[in-house]
Structure 1
Amino acid sequence: MLEKTYQPAAIEARIHQEWVRTDAFKAGRPDRKDAAPYAIVIPPPNVTGSLHMGHALNNTLQDILCRFERMRGKDVLWQPGTDHAGIATQMVVERQMMERQEPDRRKIGRDKFLEKVWAWKAESGGTIINQLKRLGASCDWSRERFTMGDRGAPDDQMVQAVTKVFVDLYNQGLIYKDKRLVNWDPQFQSAISDLEVEAIEKTGSFKWARGDKDKDGNPVALDHKRLAKLLVKEPAGHMYYFDYPLEGATYNPDDPSTYVTVATTRPETMLGDTAVAVHPTHEKSKYKHLIGKRVALPLTDRTIPIVGDDYADPEKGTGAVKITPAHDFNDFEVGKRHADKLVAPINIFDAFAHLNENVPPVYQKLERFQARMRVVADLDALGLVAKIEPTTHTVPHGDRSGVPIEPWLTDQWYVNAGELAKAALAAVRTGKTKFVPERFAADYYRWLENIQPWCVSRQLWWGHQIPAWYGPDGQVFVAASETEAQALAAKHYASSPSPRARGEGRGEGQRQTPREAQAAAPHPSPLPVTTGRGDEIPLKRDDDVLDTW
């Protein structure tokens, strides 16, 4: 007899167990050995997560398709699994360690930290899978997978698959290492993706201009104490106008022909400027006659060129844009266009967003926002601050750390997304793949035709470690295993002079200078390689992990 009231707690668990007992959702059953296959791989939810409405919608749609195709007689596989969620999982475990007042991960080392992560995963990582089961998702639960496999063992099927794809793409020239700007999270000490960046609007309140007078007609000095108090509470939200004196001219704030005024919301980055850009042809470009000349970069002993570039908008700000290629994505592109006139990008921050050795000694080791106040004060002492005014602008923040992101020039691993996109574009252009409605094809084309290299490396410990090893001379060996890396290295050094014979010693491989400031972490012992000449060369594995799986 049908109960008057549906009792899900009493009914759903019993029905789920019956489904499991009868292999109702199992793929490859004998009775379907000749059936047409149909498969969906579940977009694996983060192991740290719990279900939200997005999961409910997405999995309901998949479940409808899978159940429908089963009823049509197909051999259906709905492949379940969970994503190891690199940053999210590492953050959870590190927060637990902090709450328990345990030593941080760098003090205990990589191996012991990973043991803690695996322990957390075993204890707390099954929440979202159990929720999916309670929803009645018709996955083949006998095939459940985790993107890190069984404790990340090198011979695990999941690890081998990831390693194989990386090595294959590297050998095809589709994965490479490059020095480019990334979204750097100073708290997590890692590059993060655009999707992990949250733009937060900031508005300041401080206002001052050179020439301001009080009610008695006396000049009003810049109130550094008041400004500092505001910046401690909120560093962003102001536009600063500085004068850069023209080379060879005697600076006179009352004579605009002796300087160029630039505006910025990030004064500290001026220490890394390599140019000033002005529009070369616009009728309102008041500085275009100065293209080719140079200005003295205040607080440094450098001069930098004035270049003509369409990026400078004469109708915004002063019409002159300070160019800091190592700390701004747009400036990086301007720098590439004028590389023949500019010095190489100057990275002024270390991994913690403290100023490094590339700035004058007085600013070295200052935290970036402390440096902001110091730079403004020192420029004001030279009479070079024209004005400061409140502005509203968006500041990128890490969506998990909550700290402002720093565009940072660093070595990372990239996938040539532009090359991979060609086949996807061709599929739509030839009609093999169709969009419904058709108008969305335009968005697809715009996205893939302008796609940028994909940064796939992260400076974390939880994840698939990149299968690359470095010799003392920086030579990289990408291989599927330690044995293969040793073989590649032995072959390479057998046909070239020993790094030690060249006096290169036990180097750290291809690690760029800016990353040397990152906190050191314990690493596994070097992988030895015998060259056949009687000497042994150590290989050091890349510390980074992959953003993906």
Structure 2
Amino acid sequence: MDEKKNLETKYSPKEFEEKIYKNWEEKGYFTPKVDLNKKAYTIIMPPPNITGKLHLGHALDNTLQDMIIRFKRMQGYNALWLPGEDHASIATEVKVENELLKKGIKKKEIGREAFLEKVWEWTDEYRDSIRSQIKKMGCSVDFTRESFTMDERLNKAVKHVFVKLYNEGLIYQGNRITNWCPKCVTAISDAEMEHKEQQGNFWHIRYPLVGTDKFLEIATTRPETMLGDTAVAVNPRDERYNDIVGKMLLLPLVNREIPIIADEYVDMEFGTGAVKITPAHDPNDYEVGKRHNLKEIKIMDDKGHINEFGGKYQGLERYEARKAIVEDLKSEGYLVNIKEHVHNVGFHDRCGTVVEPIISKQWYVKMESLAAPAVKAVKDGETKFIPERFEKTYYNWMENIQDWCISRQLWWGHRIPVWYCECGEITVSEETVSFCPKCGSNNLKQDSDVLDTWFSSALWPFSTLGWPEKTEDLEYFYPTDTLVTGYDIIFFWVARMVFSGIHNLGEVPFKNVFIHGMVRDSEGRKMSKSLGNGVDPLEVIDEYGADALRFMLVTGNAPGNDIRFYPERVESARNFANKIWNASRFVMMNLDEDLMKEYKDSKEYTLADRWILSKMNSLIKEVTENMDKFELGIALQKVYDFIWIEFCDWYIELVKPILYGEDKKQKATTLNVLKKVLTVSLQLLHPVMPFITEEIYIHLDSDYESITISSFPEYQESLADDKAETQMTYIVEGIRSLRNVRAEMNVIRSRKTKVLAYVLDEAKEAFDNGKTYFEKLASVSEVEIIKDKENLPENLVSLVVKGGELFIPLLDLVDKEKELERLNKEKDKLESEIERTKKKLSNERFVSKAPESVVEEEKVKGEKYKSMLEAILLRIESLN
């Protein structure tokens, strides 16, 4: 036998996965060249942050992408999957800063340049780690085109867009409310906030009405912010306060007069119906303040300490100030009461600090004119969401969009390309500015802030392809075809890419947005460090292999739905891989290439051959349709069922007599079918289980040197055979029923039984053609088709099957004397159990003291034993 066909006896993915990936890379299978004669298919990988290891969410995301890109590559597309990483501005800065602190090094002490050198060292290390993990997963990405959001060419794109938007009047600098982290001392985005329910308080405070002895009662969860109050608002429809709107209140402790205003924002039913307005420290108050031209008084510095506008509380940290203010309100008679209150509090997800809404001077993008075309593109179907329901999430954010804060008070990231001169001139430029265009001074300072990470990520689908240069890659691979991502970043990232692509290139960046869910633990909980329920994909791969992990992540996965991780399911996936391995070894051990070539044109198929080819053909069509609709989990389940059940459990068993027989032509014909079906099965499975399918394929003496560049199977009308499928359904169901009854009666395999078949006209041909299969797979000595059920011999076991009814002489199944002995023993045992149950239930003490459920359980047992005894007695009677 040709040595090439020798698969190792045991399936051991560690032995070949790394070797296979290295070969794929060396052969350049994942590096498409621009070819105008071929249609491109492009996926740009959502860039993982360079802050640590990839987790199961990345494993799911990458598996789905790889499944799509391998499918398209095999279909003949010039398929590009471009990988890369995100610099994750704030997350990386916090991580590196913490690492330095462990060594006693402070960021501020070493300065910006030295700190950035440390970050680049971190970046190089973790990018290497991420690359390694991507390869371990078997991802067919083009590392020759790998990108990083801080690459020089991507930085060029970032600066180009900033300057372009600024010149178009869409970027401006202004004072607005932003999410502020007092620990990291920077503005942060909504995506970097985690909301948690917290036990807090409502402090009810009296605000004196100027010129009267009356008070207006308000309630607040943040009493320290009252130092910056500039009004108290009531609802204009609230009759309780109609007569005091426009009058002044004296702000307690501060003794500053503030007006009572009317605004629809106020909920009349909540609290007292009167709300303190602090425009500089609350996003809703900020909007109210704008409507009423209220003064904005910022009472905290960047580190969350009370500033000079806080009077005697100046210098106190915000929570220290809260305690002091509450004590003073109490002592001066302004505090009415304190009520416990559970509310959502925003925390910075990187450092765990409570976020402070605060007014600050930042750079913003005007969003209204950018959002409108992006909404239209989705409504017009230029970009489609899968599943469609996620369009609502997209519209909800885009149609209520606020201006985007893009500046961050950090060192790591794309530095804002703005220079300031002492003469007051501001210069925005893609190139470094050395001289002031207004006064000629060379004493210029670049803005110290960096851009929000999402600003560079928004350009990812085209900056990675060389934009703003008109590169060959950009012309050929853009717009991309499919974005695969989670539902949690639709508005933070997906929406921003859509409007960025349209605004900068005039086209949507991708045609499809395939949304997947989150990987949760077996109890449905989100995986986190605090719960200690995270799973390292590399550990799973080390134990079970990459294919098993990938299979588990896709099986049962419906677009947009969360999935649960069960180690048992990974083990089950490995068992499936083992089944394929053993089946492939069996096929290869029986292949005879010379004989197969001699009869390669033979079409003298058996019924089993016609059936498996037809089933395979239908599978190709269904899987292709499912894949095109992004129903990846459904496609995989169909391939799994076909390989495990139809191919391994049935077809291989059905053809064994032919393989071991003397008819060379029939054997060669069946061997050719076996090899074809195995090859197609591997090709259909390859997108999700690339390693094992490659290892088997390259031992099969196939048409291509690698399965990854082989052609995806196509439906062939000539192989469709409804008649064969129908006939085999009758046979398979019949064999299965016979096996079941034999198992129930503990009949040894070597004991042959005759079968009388009373079948419908449409099933007669099937049972005629299937006699050999019944004999070999159901231990049948003879199948006799009978015309009617009259004058049937006694002691027959009857089986209703698809297409008719089967009868088996009972004594063919069992030895009469031994069976009677066994049945009588079973009868005695059941009678004993019935008597025991009867005594127990007639015991008044047991019935009165035992729990009702226990008594009921005994009654159920008694009835079950009686039913079983009746069946045994009937069997004994029939044998006698």
TM range (shorter): 0.7 to 0.9
Distance 1:195 1:175 in 2: 21
What is the DSSP-based 3-state SS (H/G/I as helix, E as strand, rest coil) of the residue aligned with 1:35?
Answer: coil
Distance 1:5 1:474 in 2: 75
Q: Which residue of 2 aligns with 1:113?
A: 115
Alignment partner of 1:545 out of 428, 450, 459: 450
Q: Which residue of 2 aligns with 1:363?
A: 313
Does 1:17 find its partner at 2:10?
Answer: no
What is the DSSP-based 3-state SS (H/G/I as helix, E as strand, rest coil) of the residue aligned with 2:53?
Answer: coil
Alignment partner of 1:410 out of 360, 374, 381: 360
What is the DSSP-based 3-state SS (H/G/I as helix, E as strand, rest coil) of the residue aligned with 2:240?
Answer: coil
Q: Which residue of 2 aligns with 1:91?
A: 94
Does 1:471 find its partner at 2:427?
Answer: no
Distance 2:374 2:203 in 1: 45
What is the DSSP-based 3-state SS (H/G/I as helix, E as strand, rest coil) of the residue aligned with 2:46?
Answer: coil
Q: Which residue of 2 aligns with 1:101?
A: 104
Letter in 2 for 1:238: N
Shift in Å at residue 301 of structure 1?
3.4
Q: Which residue of 2 aligns with 1:271?
A: 227
What pairs with 1:297-336 in structure 2 (closer than 5 Å)? 297-336=251-290
Does 1:346 find its partner at 2:297?
Answer: yes
Letter in 2 for 1:259: F
Q: Which residue of 2 aligns with 1:140?
A: 142
Q: Which residue of 2 aligns with 1:498?
A: none
Does 1:163 find its partner at 2:163?
Answer: no
Alignment partner of 1:69 out of 68, 72, 82: 72
Letter in 2 for 1:126: D
Letter in 1 for 2:270: K
What pairs with 1:183-194 in structure 2 (closer than 5 Å)? 183-194=179-190
For the 8 Å contact 1:147–1:158, the answer to whether it is kept is: yes
For the 8 Å contact 1:327–1:406, the answer to whether it is kept is: yes
Q: Which residue of 1 aligns with 2:209?
A: 246
Compare the two structures and name the one with the higher helix fraction: 2
What pairs with 1:164-183 in structure 2 (closer than 5 Å)? 164-183=160-179
Q: Which residue of 1 aligns with 2:540?
A: none
Distance 2:36 2:260 in 1: 72
Letter in 2 for 1:541: Q
Q: Which residue of 2 aligns with 1:506?
A: none
CA gap 1:143/1:479 in 2 versus in 1, 3 angstroms? same
CA gap 1:119/1:403 in 2 versus in 1, 3 angstroms? same
For the 8 Å contact 1:472–1:537, the answer to whether it is kept is: no
Letter in 1 for 2:158: V
Shift in Å at residue 6 of structure 1?
2.3
Distance 2:266 2:69 in 1: 54
Letter in 2 for 1:90: E
Shift in Å at residue 378 of structure 1?
1.2
CA gap 1:364/1:168 in 2 versus in 1, 3 angstroms? same
What is the DSSP-based 3-state SS (H/G/I as helix, E as strand, rest coil) of the residue aligned with 2:184?
Answer: coil
What pairs with 1:489-500 in structure 2 (closer than 5 Å)? 489-490=436-437, 492-493=438-439
Letter in 1 for 2:107: R
For the 8 Å contact 2:87–2:413, the answer to whether it is kept is: yes
Distance 2:219 2:95 in 1: 40
Distance 2:155 2:62 in 1: 26
Shift in Å at residue 439 of structure 1?
5.3
What is the DSSP-based 3-state SS (H/G/I as helix, E as strand, rest coil) of the residue aligned with 1:359?
Answer: helix
Structure 2 spans left out of the alignment, 5+ residues: 1-5, 457-880
Does 1:337 find its partner at 2:342?
Answer: no
Does 1:260 find its partner at 2:165?
Answer: no
Shift in Å at residue 294 of structure 1?
0.4
Alignment partner of 1:288 out of 242, 245, 261: 242
Distance 2:206 2:269 in 1: 18
What is the DSSP-based 3-state SS (H/G/I as helix, E as strand, rest coil) of the residue aligned with 1:130?
Answer: helix
For the 8 Å contact 2:434–2:442, the answer to whether it is kept is: no
Does 1:56 find its partner at 2:59?
Answer: yes
CA gap 1:314/1:178 in 2 versus in 1, 3 angstroms? same
What is the DSSP-based 3-state SS (H/G/I as helix, E as strand, rest coil) of the residue aligned with 1:289?
Answer: coil
Shift in Å at residue 433 of structure 1?
4.0
Distance 1:239 1:370 in 2: 17
Distance 1:476 1:259 in 2: 49
Q: Which residue of 2 aligns with 1:40?
A: 43
Letter in 2 for 1:417: M
What is the DSSP-based 3-state SS (H/G/I as helix, E as strand, rest coil) of the residue aligned with 1:34?
Answer: coil
For the 8 Å contact 2:246–2:260, the answer to whether it is kept is: yes
Shift in Å at residue 39 of structure 1?
1.6
Shift in Å at residue 34 of structure 1?
2.8
Distance 2:176 2:386 in 1: 37
Does 1:4 find its partner at 2:47?
Answer: no
- Considering only CA atoms, is the larger Rg found in Structure 1 or Structure 2? 2
Letter in 1 for 2:375: L
What is the DSSP-based 3-state SS (H/G/I as helix, E as strand, rest coil) of the residue aligned with 2:150?
Answer: coil
Alignment partner of 2:125 out of 118, 123, 126: 123
Shift in Å at residue 475 of structure 1?
3.0
CA gap 1:438/1:405 in 2 versus in 1, 3 angstroms? closer
Q: Which residue of 2 aligns with 1:212?
A: none
Distance 2:196 2:145 in 1: 42
Distance 2:352 2:260 in 1: 36
Letter in 2 for 1:348: I
Letter in 2 for 1:88: A
What is the DSSP-based 3-state SS (H/G/I as helix, E as strand, rest coil) of the residue aligned with 1:109?
Answer: helix
Shift in Å at residue 51 of structure 1?
1.9
Higher relative contact order (CA 8 A, sep 6+): 1
For the 8 Å contact 1:47–1:126, the answer to whether it is kept is: no
Distance 1:384 1:468 in 2: 49
What is the DSSP-based 3-state SS (H/G/I as helix, E as strand, rest coil) of the residue aligned with 2:308?
Answer: coil
What pairs with 1:419-438 in structure 2 (closer than 5 Å)? 419-435=369-385
CA gap 1:10/1:85 in 2 versus in 1, 3 angstroms? same
For the 8 Å contact 1:33–1:75, the answer to whether it is kept is: no
Distance 2:380 2:393 in 1: 17
Partner deviation per Cα, 1:197-227 (whole Å, 9 max, x = no partner): 1112122xxxxxxxxxxxxxxxxxxxxxxxx
Letter in 2 for 1:54: G
Partner deviation per Cα, 1:25-77 (whole Å, 9 max, x = no partner): 11217xx5632222211111111132222212221222122212222222222
For the 8 Å contact 2:176–2:362, the answer to whether it is kept is: yes
What is the DSSP-based 3-state SS (H/G/I as helix, E as strand, rest coil) of the residue aligned with 1:391?
Answer: strand
Q: Which residue of 2 aligns with 1:26?
A: 31
Letter in 1 for 2:297: I
Distance 2:303 2:385 in 1: 45
Distance 1:363 1:125 in 2: 47
Letter in 1 for 2:84: G
Structure 1 spans left out of the alignment, 5+ residues: 150-155, 204-236, 251-257, 494-530
Does 1:459 find its partner at 2:409?
Answer: yes
Distance 1:117 1:427 in 2: 39
Q: Which residue of 1 aligns with 2:843?
A: none
Letter in 2 for 1:174: L
Moved over 3 A (4+): 428-444
Shift in Å at residue 441 of structure 1?
4.0
- Between 1:428-437 and 1:72-81, the stretch displaced more is 428-437
- Between 1:90-99 and 1:346-355, the stretch displaced more is 90-99
Identical positions, percent = 49
Letter in 1 for 2:178: V
For the 8 Å contact 1:456–1:546, the answer to whether it is kept is: yes
